[in-house]
Amino acid sequence: MSIIFSHVHKTLRRKTDRTPVLVDASAEFPADQITGVLAPPGSGKTTLASLCTGKFNADKGRISRNSLVSFPVASGGIFNGLLTGRENLAFLCRVFGFDPVPIIRFIIDFAEVGKAIDKPFNSLNRDERTRIMFTAVYAIPFELYIVDGTLVGGRANFRQKCEELVAERMRTSGFLMISSSPSLLGKHCANFLVMDNMALHPAASIQDAQDRLGADRLRDGDGYAEGVEGVDNTALH
Ligand SMILES: Nc1ncnc2c1ncn2[C@@H]1O[C@H](COP(=O)(O)OP(=O)(O)OP(=O)(O)O)[C@@H](O)[C@H]1O
């Protein structure tokens, strides 16, 4: 059970701007382990996460997935702002093949959002949206959670609960954590890769990963975001 990249090429394009992110990259991300990919800022962490979740396709090469892979933790773009929280969550559960009823019940209780669950998502305050987004991903029993820099979030009491929920998930599921922070990956991960110069390389330890990149190219952080944004307000057709 894993995500396997075989000779993957990916270039991002915007008008005349072309940024190669991966060139002939091969790697395996096991679904039953906590794996850290250490990467400098701007090197393509979000692109790698998007290739893993299937949001992006490779330009060339092959990506195979034989486990249930999450959407990236706290990814706001996954929620449509014009739908209610409940409608968004029901849609997500069905896409991933789960009965929405118990999962939505869990999210309402855990995120402590009450009646806000039935209001359009873009009318909620940032704190309510943040609590729903973090709870949503961890409430769905994925086999492999994809973390693009941010692991936990929300304010005060919710942050504590979120950390406990993550610890519980880490006991039963795999995580692929892509980050520029050696301390975040060193704290949680058991095996490591480095993303640099458009390639993915295994590393023996977080120290080895950090030495390969150089501490001055990295940005330490704890993977915590008090609030997250990025709701998709596109009208439904
Ligand atoms: N549509 C695009 N076209 C061309 N280049 C892009 C496009 N989107 C992003 N880029 C550039 O491609 C590189 C990789 O982008 P990506 O967002 O995957 O990196 P990242 O490591 O997640 O960045 P950050 O550390 O800022 O979160 C960045 O240098 C970015 O400026």
98 C-alpha to center of ligand 1: Å? Answer: 33
pLDDT at 130: 94
Pair 42, 65 in one domain: yes
Which residues fall within 8 angstroms of residue 211, CB to CB, at 6 or more apart?
none
Pair 66, 178 in one domain: yes
Pair 66, 181 in one domain: yes
231 C-alpha to center of ligand 1: Å? Answer: 19
In a domain, 237, yes or no: no
Which residues fall within 8 angstroms of residue 123, CB to CB, at 6 or more apart?
none
In a domain, 154, yes or no: no
Q: Which two tokens stand for residue 177?
A: 């954590």
> How many structural domains does the chain have?
2
pLDDT digits (tens, 9 = 90+) for 162-201: 999 999 999 999 999 999 999 999 999 999 999 999 999 9
Best mutation site among 47, 48, 52, 184 for ligand 1, i.e. most ligand atoms within 8 A of its Cβ? 47
Look at ligand 1, atom 24, and give the residue with the nearest C-alpha. 42
Q: Which atom of ligand 1 is nearest to the CA of 14?
A: 3
In a domain, 228, yes or no: no
8 A C-beta contact, residue 31 and residue 145: no
Look at ligand 1, atom 11, and give the residue with the nearest C-alpha. 19
94 C-alpha to center of ligand 1: Å? Answer: 31
In a domain, 122, yes or no: yes
Pair 29, 63 in one domain: yes
CATH number reported for the structural domain that contains residue 211 in this entry? 3.40.50.300
Pair 16, 42 in one domain: yes
Where in the sequence is the domain holding 9, given as residue range(s)? 2-70+174-217
Q: Which atom of ligand 1 is nearest to the CA of 21?
A: 14
Pair 48, 106 in one domain: no
Confidence of residue 212 (pLDDT cuts 50, 70, 90): very high
In a domain, 153, yes or no: no
Angle, helices 100-111/126-139, rounded to nearest 10 degrees: 140
pLDDT at 156: 85
In a domain, 15, yes or no: yes
Please report the sign of the dihedral spanned by the C-alpha atoms of residue 50, residue 187, residue 175, residue 209.
positive
In a domain, 112, yes or no: yes
This complex has an ipTM of 0.97
Look at ligand 1, atom 9, and give the residue with the nearest C-alpha. 12
57 C-alpha to center of ligand 1: Å? Answer: 16
In a domain, 8, yes or no: yes
Pick the closest to residue 78 from 236, 231, 235, 234 (CA basis): 231
Q: Which two tokens stand for residue 129?
A: 């949206």
Pick the closest to residue 107 from 125, 86, 127 (CA basis): 86
- C-alpha to C-alpha distance for 67 and 86, rounded to whole angstroms: 26
Indicate if the pLDDT at residue 230 is higher than 70. no
127 C-alpha to center of ligand 1: Å? Answer: 27
Q: Which atom of ligand 1 is nearest to the CA of 48?
A: 18
